[in-house]
Amino acid sequence: MYLFKSEKQLTPFIQKEKTAGKKIGFVPTMGALHRGHISLIEKAKAECAIVVCSIFVNPTQFNNTKDLEKYPRPIEHDMEMLLKADCTVLYLPSTDEIYPEGQPELKNYDLGYYDKVLEAAFRPGHFQGVANVVYRLLKKVNPAVLFLGQKDYQQIQIIRKMMELENLPTKIEVCEIVREASGLAMSSRNVRLSEEAWNHAAMISQTLFFLKEYRNQFSSIKALREEGIKRLKTIPDSIVEYVEVCDGETLRPTEIIIEGKPAVALVAIWVDGVRLIDNLILND
C-alpha cells in the first residue's frame, strides 16, 4: 500500500494510473476504521483497479469542539486494516493541505432542504463542512467512483447535491450498513460506548426493524414514529433526538408509504453521552 501525505505525491500517481487506463475508486473516511469501512474498500476493490482511501478528521464538520477532540484517531490500527484489505493508497493529508493558510475559505453551498432537516437541524454547519471537504478531496483524488455508506443516509444526498452543483463527473455507489451481531450499526463512535451502553444500543436497530416489519399495522406514520420513540426511550441514559419516516430521495416527511417508492426511517439518539445514528429502508 502506498502512503501519501501530500497532493504532490498523490497527483502524479493518480495521473500515471489513469493514463494506464486504470479505474480509480475512492473511499473518504475520518479513520477509526471498522468493518463498515472495510466493506467499502472491498466493494471498491471489486470494481476498480486502484482504491484510494483517505483518512482526514475534518474540523469543519464538527459543530462541537469536544466531539472533535474526542474523535478516535487509531492511525496504526487503521493502517493495518487497510493493508489487510489490500487497499492501494492511503491518502493522509494534513489540515494545512486541505485548508491552506490556517483557515478555510468555505464555500456556502445551496444544499436546499437537505441542509435544513434531521442531522442538519441538530448539527448546524455540519453538512457545509462535509460538502466542502468532500469537494476538496474529490478534486485531489479525481476518482471514477466514490463509495459511500448508507449509514450516513443524509450525507449521501448532501454529497450528491454538492457534486451536481459543482458538475463533478464522479459516480456515487452506496454500500449497505454493516451491523454487529446484535444489529448495532457499525460506527467509529461505538468505541466510546461502555459495554453496558453498547448492549443497550442494540435497541436502535431492533426498533428500526420492528417499524419495518409492523409498519402496516399502524393507523398512520405519526403512530409508527411514536412507537419508535417509545421503544427508543426505554434505552437507559438516552436522549432521542429524532425518529422520522421520510421519502428516501427528497427526505421530506412522508404521510404514506407507497410500495416501489423508498421510504426511510431515520434515527438519532444519544446513548450514555454518545450520539448515534441509524436508518432503514422500510419498503424494500
Residues identified as active-site = 37
Nearer to ligand PAF, 155 or 190 (CB): 155
The one segment of 97-105, 126-134, 177-185, 211-219 that binds ligand PAF by CB under 6 A: 126-134
* DSSP helix/strand/coil, 4: strand
- Distance CA(249)–CA(154), nearest Å, equals 9
Whether 37 contacts 27, CB under 8 Å: yes
User: Residues 24, 26, 28, 51: which binds ligand PAF (CB under 6 A)?
Assistant: 28
* CA 141, chain centre distance (Å): 19
Place of cell 471498522: 34
Single residue of 42, 78, 152, 227 touching ligand PAF by CB under 6 A: 152
Least separation, in Å, of the C-beta of 58 and ligand PAF? 4
Q: Which of 4, 41, 44, 58 binds ligand PAF (CB under 6 A)?
A: 58
User: Would you call 125 helix, strand, or coil by DSSP?
Assistant: coil
Which one of the spans 41-49, 86-94, 129-137, 234-242 is the region binding ligand PAF (CB under 6 A)? 129-137
Taking the complex as a whole, the smallest distance from the CB of residue 199 to ligand PAF amounts, in Å, to 25
Amino acid at site 233: K
Shortest distance in whole angstroms from residue 54 CB to ligand PAF: 7
The 8-class DSSP code of residue 36 comes to: H
User: Is residue 133 part of the contact set for ligand PAF (CB under 6 A)?
Assistant: yes
Q: Is the CB of 28 or the CB of 228 nearer to ligand PAF?
A: 28
- Which positions ≥6 away from 63 have C-beta within 8 Å? 123, 124, 125, 126
Nine-digit cell string for 251 = 427526505
Q: Which of 14, 33, 44, 134 binds ligand PAF (CB under 6 A)?
A: 134
Binding status of residue 177 toward ligand PAF by CB under 6 A: no
Rounded Cα–Cα distance for residues 222 and 228 (Å) = 10
Other CB atoms within 10 A of residue 171 CB: 13
Please report, as a single letter, which amino acid is at residue 33: L
Strand, helix or coil at 268?
Answer: strand
Q: Nearest approach, Cβ of 98 to ligand PAF (angstroms)?
A: 10
78 is a site residue for ligand PAF (CB under 6 A): no
Which of residues 115 and 152 has its CB atom nearest to ligand PAF in the complex?
152
Residue 187 lies near ligand PAF (rule: CB under 6 A)? no
User: Would you state the cell numbers that stand for residue 70, as one nine-digit string?
Assistant: 474526542
Residue numbers at the binding site for ligand PAF (CB under 6 A)? 28-30, 58, 61, 130, 133-134, 152, 155
